[in-house]
Chains A and B, each alone.
Chain A
Amino acid sequence: MFGIFDDPNALWVLTGTTLLGVSAGLLGCFAFLRRRSLLGDAIAHAALPGICVAFLITQTRSLGPLLVGALIAGLIGAFVIQVIIKRTKLKEDAALGIVLSVFFAFGIVLLTIIQHSGAGNQSGLDKYLFGQAASLIGSDVRLMAICAALVCVLALLFFKEFKLLCFDSGFAAGIGFRPGLLDGILMTLIVLAVVVGMQAMGVILMSAMLIIPAASARFWTERLGTMIVLAAIFGALSGAGGTFLSTLAFRMPTGPLIVVTSSVFFTVSLLAAPRKGLIAKGYHLIATRGRVQRENVLRSLYEELEETGPGTRTVTIASVAGRRGMNESNLRSTLERLLREGLVIREPDGFRLTEAGLEAAHGVVRNHRLWEMFLMYEGQLGADHVDRDADTIEHFLPRETVGELERFLEIHGLEPRLLPNVHAVDGIDKAEGGTA
């Protein structure tokens, strides 16, 4: 299974694709943050005529001259995109699409001319279309390694400048950087990374290496430094993993396997990232919904008792459901939860709050009404910046303000008067510690 490490050629390929993943992942972060993810796609397509022209001029298929041709064509493509965006009413999407398809079509024209002239069969130019990682040889990989390392070093050297460019290019201009120049350097690096990878990955899939690791990394962090490291790791793992898979499963091309591997990382990130992931978000949503329901039911029970008087402590499900228009199955499951927590007891004709339940309900109702008071008198209290998602009002407002709010509650006759027997009726302060 690990025969790949015995085969020097396979080892070259593995090294090449891993390096590719690192450099593309790293640069992809800047492209991603500049909202230029698809630029790599456009440039990779635009490089094709450059490769063909370089072949026509030099009549060799060695990697160096072809890369120079691709680089020049890619830069011209990037320049034309800028011209179209700046000088016409067409937007970025159209500019990318035009350059991508027209350059590529022109490349196909040149490629077919070369092929029909008979030289193409030896040139092997068509492998740039889909890439052929398996055909990489030592000298190719050495060149790729040099370019990838160069790209990484330059990107890290310009880290601060690129960071500024990505997050606030106006400010960058203000303190004396030239955003146009920086953008040009960034674009050149992107073109270089794409062009170097094309031989292994092919035109279309190379852009995936630029986009997917960066987009995956974005799920895990809010810091650019961390994001870059993560994207480089994702890129490297995709490159190595895809290559490894293709040696296991014969007839499977390496490039697409690398892309699929990185898509797996993306999907895992999309689902499992700690805060932005779908699972974390879903869990948070469900937890919040459950908490809100619990509080709503407690409040409903409490308010029902307030209206019927302290003598009765049993409340029917129908009256609670009617109070907040709660869906009955939700109500039942929430009541089950309160039963488990020991806050209510089941009675023949409904539910009854226990002492602990009354205390909890009192806390919730008091908290809720204090917030209502706060919203009503916000202007007078002069506090305009609080987290209204707050659990307990004491955590967010100074003591004096809470005292004032309590006064307002009394003025409006809204103070929650039903208290558990263990507390004195006037012991509002004692209930403060009650959880919400």
Chain B
Amino acid sequence: MSDSMIIILTGAFVAGSCALLGSFLVLRKLSMLGDAISHAVLPGIVIAFLVTSSRNSLPMFVGAALVGVLTAFLVQFLSHRGVQGDAAIGVTFTTLFAIGVILVSHYGSAVDLDLECVLYGEIAYAPFDVIFIGDQSIGARALWVNGGLFLLNLAFIFVFYKQLKLSAFDPELAAAVGIPVTAFHYMLMGLVSVTTVGSFESVGAILVVAMIIVPAATAYLLSENLARMIGLAVLLGAISSVLGYEIASHLDCSIAGAMASVAGLLFSLALLFSPRQGIVAKAMSRRGLRRQVAEEDVLLWAARQRELISAEGFTMHELRDTHPDEIDRLARALSRLIHRGLLAADRDGFELTTSGREEGVELLRRHRLYESFLGDKLGYDTDHLHDPADRVEHYISPDDTTEIERVTEYPDRDPQGKPIPPSQKEKEKEKEREKESS
């Protein structure tokens, strides 16, 4: 296996493990606890080093898992004793981290532990640290360790998926149906600690924190289904690993940092362009609504003009005179209406097409039916009907219109005495009747 392959795979395994756990942390609003644990395990690692005076992984895992669970426990303890949650996290992990830094700087030279390497990792060295069975090299240690951790996390989530899901979305219900929610909480935290340690030497703490939170948050923006979210998070983590490696080898910079930066980039893409949650999608749908309202305002006004003064068309002047403050909005709507074939333009001005007329009349019908509803059923004064109807008419569906018509007992005229045009269906029926009678 080539060196770059080993690095990418190691990164992908770390990202995968973190994404699996991170999905639940993000859902349970515990992201910062993950951050805290990944910092707080430092003294655990150092103490395990000092006690066993070896770089053997197993004692380190045990030490870190213990400190990680201790962190989660201390946070819980403090917040039950009146320290609010965020401060409890802050106090606990900064203190533990400070103790870790002191230990490293005091004993660091003795145990061959480099603080920067622990925190920022040097995944580039991953291929050189190989495991031997007998004399036979079986591959990079980081690859085996992180691959194993990935499988462990995968198995944990696979086996306890239902329990974890319920604990994440409805902890009270989970507790009520007998799931040991607290035990699962600490198990999850233990796994976070172990995963952090496994990746410490190779990729460093920042990559772990970034990979726990960022891909899971990205997937959360893209999916509404937990299983799909987890899968997506793992995939995003793997993509970040591959792209990050490519970028880092071009720029000659920290590989772990580049992987995390790519994850951040993917997040910002999702933040902007997620089909339903994205900022752009939301802005687009708001803009679409604004446009629709402007177009309907023009159609309605033109239909009313036609009815009032039997004008076949209207000019820009007339539109401006009647709507001096809104002319920009409405003028832009004109061109869209022409494009949609609801309006025709000629040298004298504008004229509704047949389909434009139909739609305008339908809007007029809706508007006046709603006025009848307000006046007859809710008892509004006749001079207070127009404005509310003007706002609401855009949001009344055809079904609602039918219902309003039924409730107001099929009026012919609105409270101000203006005719309510018949619906399209009624018109067709009438035509058929005429045909039959003739």
Contact = CB atoms under 8 A, between A and B. Distances in A.
Interface of A: 32, 35-38, 40-41, 83-84, 87-94, 96-98, 100-113, 116, 126, 129-130, 204-205, 207-208, 210-212, 214-215, 218-219, 251-253, 255-257, 259-260, 263, 266, 270, 276, 278
B97 A93 contact: no
Contacts of B206: 101, 104-105, 108
Contact of B94 (A36, A116, A212): A212
A172 B278 CA distance: 31
Contacts of B213: 94, 97-98, 101
Contacts of B251: 109, 113
Contacts of B277: 88-89
Contact of B101 (A36, A256, A266): A256
B33 to A, nearest CB: 8
Interface residues of B, number: 62
B90 A208 contact: yes
Nearest to B262: A105
Contacts of B102: 252-253, 256-257, 260
B298 interface: no
A154 B7 CA distance: 50
Which of B85, B99, B116, B210 has the most chain A CB within a 10 Å cutoff?
Answer: B210
A105 B89 CA distance: 22
A419 B261 CA distance: 83
A105 B87 contact: no
Interface of B: 26, 29-35, 39, 78, 81-91, 94-95, 97-99, 101-102, 105-106, 115-116, 119-120, 206-207, 209-210, 212-214, 217, 220-221, 248, 251-254, 256-261, 263-264, 267, 271, 277, 279, 282
A360 B288 CA distance: 80
A40 to B, nearest CB: 8
B95 A263 contact: yes
A41 B277 CA distance: 27
Contacts of B220: 89-90, 94
Contacts of B83: 215, 218, 270
A100 B217 CA distance: 13
Q: Is the interface of A mostly helix, strand, loop or mixed?
A: helix
Nearest to A116: B252
Contacts of A126: 116
A83 B279 CA distance: 10
B261 to A, nearest CB: 5
Given A88-B277, A97-B32, A108-B206, A205 B97 contact: yes
B39 A204 contact: yes
B35 A259 contact: no
Contacts of A89: 220-221, 277
| A-B complex: 3 closest residue pairs judged by Cβ atoms | A102-B264, A105-B260, A208-B94
Interface centre among A38, A102, A215 (most CB of B within 10 A): A102
B253 A208 contact: no
Contacts of B209: 97, 100-101
A212 B212 CA distance: 26
Nearest to B102: A256
Contact of B87 (A32, A100, A259): A32
A94 B217 contact: yes
Contacts of B95: 208, 212, 259-260, 263, 266
Contact of B264 (A92, A106, A130, A255): A106
Contacts of A108: 120, 206, 253-254, 256-257, 260
B97 A94 contact: no
A267 to B, nearest CB: 9
Contacts of A94: 26, 29, 31, 213, 217, 220
5 contacts: A100-B35, A105-B263, A105-B264, A112-B253, A259-B95
A102 B253 contact: no
A278 B82 CA distance: 10
Contacts of A255: 98, 101
B98 A263 contact: yes
B40 to A, nearest CB: 11
Nearest to B209: A101
Contacts of A40: 90
